[in-house]
Amino acid sequence: MKTVNIRINGEAVSSPVDDRLSLADFIRDHCLLTGTHIGCEQGVCGACTLMLDGKPIRSCIMLAVAADGADVLTVEGYDDDPLMRAIRTAFNRRHALQCGFCTPGMLATAHDILSRIADLDRDRIRTELGGNFCRCTGYLPIIQAIEDVYAQRAQMASMKPVIRAAE
């Protein structure tokens, strides 16, 4: 056991954890933030994607102890973020989710893409989404939702995301 100190969605969390506990399990079971979904548990599907120190990571293949001292942003932490609000609205409008299992990871990745990349086109969005699997939507509505927000972004220049992705 080791005590980890992690800042999660702006709040300091300190807890003893088993050495082999994944960050995803820590966030879900210890912090009760169940918006982070666990699918493959092998770093493949992207359902568990969250932001760690401004970069998207697979929380199922990262140990909680390895996140000691980090700043974590889960899907629950974007409520005051205008960019994420626009992404969620676009996902709703485009019907970019069905069962919703992939959605937290998709939202985190979409936010990262739109924060980090100045020039986007459909091919680039597809490439950037390559690590997030969806069994339901066929991907097109998700891509269209991101395209919609990208098109709005000029008007959103004054909006400041909670955490910008690292360059």
Q: Taking the complex as a whole, how short is the minimal distance between the CB of residue 137 and ligand FES, in angstroms?
A: 5
Burial of residue 7 (CB within 10 Å: 0-12, 13-18, 19+) is middle
The answer to whether the CB of 98 falls within 8 A of the CB of 13 is no
In whole angstroms, the minimum distance from the beta carbon of 113 to ligand FES comes to 17
CA distances from 28 to 8, 21, 23 (A): 12, 11, 9
Which residue lies nearer to ligand FES by CB, 98 or 152? 98
CB of 32 to ligand FES, least distance (A): 18
8 A C-beta contact, residue 40 and residue 47:
yes
Chain residues that interact with ligand FES, rule: CB under 6 A: 38-41, 43-48, 58, 60, 97-102, 134-137
CB closer to ligand FES out of 40 and 165 = 40
Nearest distance from C-beta of residue 156 to ligand FES, angstroms: 25
Distance (Å) of CA 101 to CA 1, 48, 153: 31, 10, 27
Give 17 or 48: the residue with its C-beta nearer to ligand FES: 48
Residue 47 or 108: the one with the smaller Cβ distance to ligand FES is 47
